[in-house]
Structure 1
Amino acid sequence: MSVQPFEPTVTVGNIALSFHRAAAAVTRRVLEAHGHRVNSVEAPHEQMFRLQEDGDVDVLVSAWLPSSHGTYLSHYRDRVRVLTPHYRPYCVWAVPPHVPAEAVREVADLARPEVAERMTTAIRGINPGAGISRFSARIVAEYGLDRLGYSFTPGTETDFVARVEQGIADQEWFVVPLWRPQYLNRLHGLRALEEPKGLLGTVDDASPVISWEALDRIHPDAVARLDGLALGNDGVEEIDALINVDGLTPLQAADRFLTAHPELLAAVSGHTASVSPRGPVSGDE
């Protein structure tokens, strides 16, 4: 059947990183498939959670719980519904495939003299509010890497990606604070290091968070579909690669992914929704 707007516009917010844009684009298409108009906003980690806490974001995609973002959500946890996770992310430290596994297999190996002599000791990360950035600063200190000249510096996603690309091109020995899902994993075959101290947090649940107020305005079938949407780490990385490698916009990437996986927009609760591949409402790409 044709879809008519159900209620006023829903604001979807995502953290300002490409893989969060990937997941948010799918969320937007689900909402549009159930008749909603969608506004999209993005911000750094802590700011995005503050925007939802202040009532400026209806659906936050996504909170990594409990390790990475639990502290940000805790301020207003009683005013939101946390949905079933869309994927299960985790943080790692990784090295490029040209660094031999027999030389560097775990984080502690970075302190071996013959390794420290070859490794680039300046470690670049993303913005300081990210869980991986907090964890990485702690690792440098707790493994005593700072005493060997290693340092961790947070930065922009653009600088972070450029640093990885340059290191790969130069066949450099370097370590990168990374996570799944992230398209660089599949693009470059980066190898995760063992970290037995558990300083990189747990495997998190990446869940959309909907404010209780917004639940009264969002079609219940849209909520049900979002609550059962299983993208997986591989799915998010696939969309992320379409954005960063193939040059698609997040919405174009989501549309291509959903065309290949139509079951993700299948009917729920006995209802159906028929929409064009681009959804019922056009918007900024």
Structure 2
Amino acid sequence: MTTISLGYLGTALHAGCASAVARVLDAHEVEVDFVDSDESELPGMLEEGAIDLLVSAWLPRDAHLVQYGMRVLGTLYRPFYCWASFETVSSLSGLSAGEIDVAITSRSDQKQMEVLIGQTDALAGVTVEICDEEALYAAVHAARDAGRKALVFLAQPHALFNDEAFRTIDDPNLPGEMEGCMLVRESVAACADQDMLDELSEMTLGNKVMSAMDHAIQVDGMDPEEAAEAWQRGRLVAR
């Protein structure tokens, strides 16, 4: 096998992850064709066979994608949805009414956040700020700079978590960790080099590296390949 179509969702986080995986493929002399997609397009692209290797699916949330002739390969990191803040808040149950000025999230997570707000008395009537995914980092820092106490609903890993002062907040209403896995097409795996598949199945990035790559791309202006190279050379975070 000389070429693999490497699919990923068109965000900085997933682009960085795909570029890191591509470095393994390159080492096995496999040419990589990058294929970006949005979430709504992804099932159709998999069904058409346009993607040989998907980086990455969040299981069990994305388990339905396996039906398109794919199989799970390895676990790169462990994403989870959470509340987080620069404020010192240990849990939602410990919040007092009026303690938080604004709740911020991206458009893709808006409905989920609004349901959770409805379950938390201390957040009743709180101002809600919705922004595009790529604007979330700036929106949170703008609120912080303005002295507004912000609560953020998002998935970890994220560029915001590259700052150790940005911490998750306990909420028993949220599910636990998922697995950020690759999905490889069965027909491609059948003829791929087994050593390459073994190396991919053992590859681990972790949430800390993923957040750092997201920050390098979103905030520092690196392109995904530069961020992946920085990780591989140990210049991004301790591996």
Deviation at 1:88, TM superposition (A): 1.2
**Structure-2 residue corresponding to 1:215:** 189
Query: Aligned to 1:105, which of 72, 75, 90?
Result: 90
Deviation at 1:76, TM superposition (A): 4.1
Task: Tell whether the 8 Å contact from 1:140 to 1:152 is kept in structure 2 after alignment.
Answer: no
**Structure-2 residue corresponding to 1:17:** 11
Correspondence list, 1:172-187, <5 A: 172-187=148-163
Correspondence list, 1:76-95, <5 A: 76-77=66-67, 79-95=69-85
Q: Would you say 1:171 and 2:147 are equivalent positions?
A: yes
Query: Aligned to 1:202, which of 153, 168, 176?
Result: 176
Could you say if the C-alpha distance between residues 229 and 114 of structure 1 is closer, same or farther in structure 2, counting changes exceeding 3 Å?
A: same
**Structure-1 residue corresponding to 2:225:** 251
Task: Tell whether the 8 Å contact from 1:140 to 1:151 is kept in structure 2 after alignment.
Answer: no
Amino acid at match of 1:163: A
Could you say if the C-alpha distance between residues 126 and 44 of structure 1 is closer, same or farther in structure 2, counting changes exceeding 3 Å?
A: farther
Deviation at 1:61, TM superposition (A): 0.7
Q: Which has the higher strand share?
A: 2
Could you say if the C-alpha distance between residues 75 and 57 of structure 1 is closer, same or farther in structure 2, counting changes exceeding 3 Å?
A: closer
What is the root-mean-square deviation of aligned Cα atoms in Å? 2.5
Task: Tell whether the 8 Å contact from 2:159 to 2:211 is kept in structure 1 after alignment.
Answer: yes
Could you say if the C-alpha distance between residues 75 and 228 of structure 1 is closer, same or farther in structure 2, counting changes exceeding 3 Å?
A: closer
Deviation at 1:47, TM superposition (A): 2.6
Amino acid at match of 2:154: L
Could you say if the C-alpha distance between residues 144 and 51 of structure 1 is closer, same or farther in structure 2, counting changes exceeding 3 Å?
A: farther
Amino acid at match of 1:89: P
1:243-282 C-alpha deviation (Å, 9 max, x unpaired): 2343221111111211239xxxxxxxxxxxxxxxxxxxxx
1:214-236 C-alpha deviation (Å, 9 max, x unpaired): 22453322211110101111222
Task: Tell whether the 8 Å contact from 1:140 to 1:150 is kept in structure 2 after alignment.
Answer: no
Could you say if the C-alpha distance between residues 239 and 114 of structure 1 is closer, same or farther in structure 2, counting changes exceeding 3 Å?
A: closer
Structure with the greater alpha carbon radius of gyration: 1
Could you say if the C-alpha distance between residues 135 and 218 of structure 1 is closer, same or farther in structure 2, counting changes exceeding 3 Å?
A: farther
Q: Would you say 1:47 and 2:41 are equivalent positions?
A: yes
SS in 2 for 1:41: strand
Deviation at 1:207, TM superposition (A): 0.4
1:94-133 C-alpha deviation (Å, 9 max, x unpaired): 111xx3x3xx4322445x3332xx512xx332342xxx55
Task: Tell whether the 8 Å contact from 1:243 to 1:250 is kept in structure 2 after alignment.
Answer: yes
**Structure-2 residue corresponding to 1:138:** 115
Task: Tell whether the 8 Å contact from 2:79 to 2:157 is kept in structure 1 after alignment.
Answer: yes
**Structure-1 residue corresponding to 2:208:** 234
After TM superposition, the score normalised by the length of structure 2 is 0.86
Alignment size in residue pairs: 235
Following the alignment from structure 2 to structure 1, what is the Cα–Cα distance between the partners of residues 186 and 42?
17
Following the alignment from structure 2 to structure 1, what is the Cα–Cα distance between the partners of residues 14 and 161?
16
Structure 2 gaps of 5+ residues are: none
Identity of aligned residues (%): 23
Task: Tell whether the 8 Å contact from 2:59 to 2:180 is kept in structure 1 after alignment.
Answer: yes
Query: Aligned to 1:162, which of 124, 132, 138?
Result: 138
Task: Tell whether the 8 Å contact from 2:137 to 2:159 is kept in structure 1 after alignment.
Answer: no
Task: Tell whether the 8 Å contact from 2:46 to 2:68 is kept in structure 1 after alignment.
Answer: no
Structure 1 gaps of 5+ residues are: 1-5, 262-285
1:150-205 C-alpha deviation (Å, 9 max, x unpaired): 5464x4222212211211222211111123222211236212111023x2x22111
Range moving further from structure 2, 52-61 or 138-147: 138-147
Task: Tell whether the 8 Å contact from 2:98 to 2:122 is kept in structure 1 after alignment.
Answer: no
Task: Tell whether the 8 Å contact from 1:53 to 1:76 is kept in structure 2 after alignment.
Answer: no
